[in-house]
Amino acid sequence: NAGVMQNPRHLVRRRGQEARLRCSPMKGHSHVYWYRQLPEEGLKFMVYLQKENIIDESGMPKERFSAEFPKEGPSILRIQQVVRGDSAAYFCASSPGGPETQYFGPGTRLLVL
């Protein structure tokens, strides 16, 4: 059973470009969480999704950021018009639902030049 997969592992963008980060949850998991880790800091929650639904986006910046988890395919975190402050590691986690352990992917490290 493959773990949580994220791609790309590293992404370099210039200011003003768009960044698309992908997350494929573990098989059988229908709950996906996105977290952001700034340098030398802990993880901060961004958004929680189930298939085709956003359950909680209270940690997501109101502008430029969006997320989806379609019926088919991976979850996507999209950042429009990136700025240098968006440079961070973005982690996806999945769980089967209920009060179960979340399993993390390897992360996407975004660098905005």
Interaction site with another protein (CB under 8 A): 4, 6, 31, 33, 35, 41-45, 48, 56, 59, 91, 93, 95, 97-107
Closer CB to another protein, residue 42 or residue 85? 42
Report in angstroms how near the CB of residue 25 gets to another protein at its nearest: 13
Is 28 exposed, middle or buried (CB count within 10 Å of its CB: 0-12, 13-18, 19+)?
exposed
Closer CB to another protein, residue 3 or residue 17? 3
Neighbours of 53 (CB within 10 A): 10
Report in angstroms how near the CB of residue 19 gets to another protein at its nearest: 18
Burial of 67-104, coded b for 16+ CB within 10 Å and e otherwise, reads: bbbeeeebbbbebeebeeebbbbbbbbbbeeeeeebee
Report in angstroms how near the CB of residue 50 gets to another protein at its nearest: 9
Closer CB to another protein, residue 68 or residue 104? 104
Report in angstroms how near the CB of residue 99 gets to another protein at its nearest: 5
As given in the structure block, the two tokens for residue 92 are 């996806």
CA 65 to CA 79: how far, in whole Å?
A: 5
Closer CB to another protein, residue 17 or residue 45? 45
